[in-house]
Amino acid sequence: SAVKVIFSGIQPTGVPHLGNYLGALQQWVELQKEPSSSTRLFYCVVDLHAVTLLQNPQQLQIWRRETLAALLAVGLDPDRCNIFFQSSVPAHCELMWILSCTASVGYLSRMTQWKSKLSLPEQSSVQDAAAKAKLKLGLFSYPVLQAADILLYGTTHVPVGEDQLQHLEFARECAGNFNAVYGHVLTPPETILSPAKRIMSLKHPMLKMSKSHADPRSRILISDSMENIEMKIRLAMTDSISGVSYDPVSRPGVSNLLSIMSHLDEEERSCEELAEACKGLTLRQFKDKASQTIDKGVSEIRDRYIHLMQSSGASALDAIARQGAVTANKEAGATMADVRRAMGL
Ligand code: ADP
Ligand code: NA
């Protein structure tokens, strides 16, 4: 059949920032426009991936709720998509184990995220075997869990950023390895590369905006108030060249603000068109304009988010999570029945 199944996940590591929203979530929302008869959507809060690094349990519980609320706030409709917590569907772990038995250690050890952990400057002692042995197994094998996430739902398409292409290739490899032994059961997925530009850090516009950067003023959250947005944009690193122009290489700060504005612009103007429209402004005026555009772009999301996090919205969140878990367990259960049958289990 020609039914498309789309799966994507987000880690529960706090309220999403503009990079997450413009680089990923906006596309998730966009995909809802495809006819529901031919395109099924699975959006998963991947809380089991979050515990690859040690998490404070109270904090994780809060972040899980915040992430679910954020998915609804950006405009995902729980009647159109299956929204659920990964840890509510035990089959993710079960399929992970099964895939582990046909996955190659050599392939996993060549993955860049693992290699980068082996060579982080602050962990240079990891070069010796004792320190290396302290790295956790989950960090090494989490691409197998990611493959299980995708393959459980018969996913045909995964929307991802460039940084995730290697993991998608590994998921295809996992499906191929399993199928080579047990017959054609699992579907190797294709990628839908996100069309969005990378949103850069407000403080270091040569780096991507990320929640892993220590300074919270380097990113704007979708729940930020107008005052917070203004404060962060005023403090954003730009340059001392007068006027506004779009030139990502020599003016990364100004160009990043133009890029954010372009993504949120109601008239859908390009970065160059916005630069032209702003060229007579002082830096201060330009930043005020950027703040206004961002505030306008997130205000509905922010209002919905605040409502969902209040007690009146809280029971709605629980009901959506419960319903999502029921549907996802049913779908995953069907795949697991095929997998077990093929294996003689
Ligand atoms: P972070 O870097 O803040 O930890 P994640 O790695 O959890 O973000 O990313 C979640 C999703 O958001 C991914 O699809 C990723 O490609 C996208 N994303 C994250 N940061 C950016 C950014 N600065 N610009 C564009 N997309 C981004
Ligand atoms: Na990240």
Query: 247-291 pLDDT, tens per residue?
Result: 999 999 999 999 999 999 999 999 999 999 999 999 999 999 999
Task: Output the CA 236–ligand 1 centroid distance in Å.
Answer: 19
Average pLDDT (75-103) is: 98
Best probe residue, ligand 1, of 10, 15, 18, 20 (max atoms within 8 Å of C-beta): 20
From 237, 236, 245, 233, select the one nearest 292 (Cα to Cα): 233
Spot the catalytic one: 197, 203, 208, 330: 208
Q: Does domain 4-198+312-343 have CATH number 3.40.50.620?
A: yes
Q: Is 203 a catalytic residue?
A: no
Q: For position 162, what pLDDT does the model report?
A: 77
From 257, 206, 327, 229, select the one nearest 22 (Cα to Cα): 257
C-alpha triplet 330, 331, 335: angle, nearest 5°: 115
Q: Would you say residue 309 has pLDDT above 80? A: yes
Residue 161, ligand 1, Cβ within 6 A: yes
Task: State both tokens at 86.
Answer: 């990964």
Q: Is 296 a catalytic residue?
A: no
pLDDT band at 140 (very low <50, low <70, confident <90, very high): very high
pLDDT band at 110 (very low <50, low <70, confident <90, very high): confident
Task: State both tokens at 33.
Answer: 């426009």
Measured between alpha carbons, how far is 217 from 231 in angstroms, rounded to an integer? 8
Beta bridge pairs of residue 190 = 157
Q: Where are the domains of the chain?
A: 4-198+312-343, 216-307
Is ipTM over 0.90?
A: yes
What is 216-307's CATH superfamily? Tyrosyl-Transfer RNA Synthetase (1.10.240.10)
Q: Answer whether 4-198+312-343 and 216-307 agree in fold.
A: no
Q: For position 151, what pLDDT does the model report?
A: 98
Edge-to-edge strands, sheet with 157-160? 82-85, 39-45, 4-10, 157-160, 190-193
